[in-house]
Chains A and B, each alone.
Chain A
Amino acid sequence: MNHFPGTWGRPRDDVYGPYDASYLRSTGPKAHTQSPAVTGTSVIAVKFNGGVAIAADNLASYGSLARFTDVKRLRVFGNAAVVGFSGDVSDMQYIDRLLESMDIRENYSAHGNQLNAKNLHTYLSKVLYKRRSEFNPLWNHILVAGFDGDKKPFLSSADLLGTTFSAPHLATGFGAHLAVPILRRLFPEERPIDEITKEDAVSALRDCLKVLWYRDARSLDKYSLAVITHEGIEVQEDQQIEAQSWAFAETIKGYGAQVV
């Protein structure tokens, strides 16, 4: 301890190098998000006969640190849609506020027609595209699940660049590598959506989350799952991955220092 109280409790410059204060800058150019900070991992979703199921775990990571373990990344909009967020959590909360105010505005409006999931997806993709065009992106990849104007199940994605696409099953982030192949195997294109029951869809999502929990280092075994049908939206926010089997782990060989 020295006679500079301002340095007490801080990493010593002579040991750790000077503190990088660049992020404390209050003058100079306005800094836009150039990389996400607190992030959520995959969101996965699948259409079934009469609705859509969507799931995401409850983790918000800070780099490799599992920082917040009770973060709800599925956002219910009215009784029409569920939005699943991956990517930056603060940007998620900002978008959430946009949706909140829009929901209130819509509910007070006189026109009486409700926004559906398709409208919501169009809106969100335009918000994302506008922000990327200003070089100030909202660092998220989102899935929107619900119904379109014809009351048909709707599932579509939008990312930080404003790119949009839609498919019978979608996943963001690591899920695009790990979950989509599982979903494609369970629900091949030849199999019509009418043959897929709600139970099929939900159990498929649970299986995918388990695989993600096994293999995605930024995932959690606590998750949220929402099912959107014409009857309404059921959200379960404190699910736990059941029947884990780590038996396979001891058969894994050859990583790191382990040679045989």
Chain B
Amino acid sequence: MSSPFDINGGACVAMVGKDCVAIACDLRLGMQALTVSNNFPKIFNFAPGTYLGLTGLATDVSTVSDLFRYKVNMYRLREERHIAPQTLANLVSSSLYERRFGPYFVSPVIAGINNTTGKPFICGFDSIGCIDFAKDFIVSGTASDQLFGTCEGLWEPDLSPENLFETISQALLSAVDRDALSGWGAQVYIIEKDKVTQRLLKGRQD
């Protein structure tokens, strides 16, 4: 429990549907067992339809999200276009590997729809940038075991945006309810080609 990954708690999950993707996180911020805030979202927007979720050590969640805001802004100014989720994935990977022997204690998750191909994309990373390209779902955070169980049980291919929302929400809520370090509400993004829906879920407040 003294692992930096488990001090603040938190969970994040991304899922692929039919022409859509979803990413969701809990809202808790804690110091060990003590909850400090119930409004600490862990998903950050980097381009229209491109999101990055970060779980792990809260100070690194903030640092890394700020670092990528800077890097992605520089990318957009240089390239005069939005960053694609695949490009962001490689940026995240190489940036984390730069800190190979003194890593940021975060487990990032990317979800987005590629603007040129229109294809859904999700991926996850370990804290030193190894990319996990998954076709179904990505989980991260202190509730990752629980999320693996619920996602593996509830997810199916080609879900519509509505069904994907229901699936990811049920998977996340049920998972964080079995993790003492996650929960206290959730935030869900459903990403379609030209539309993003953001929803706040109340969830259990204990």
| A–B direct contact (CB < 8 Å) | no
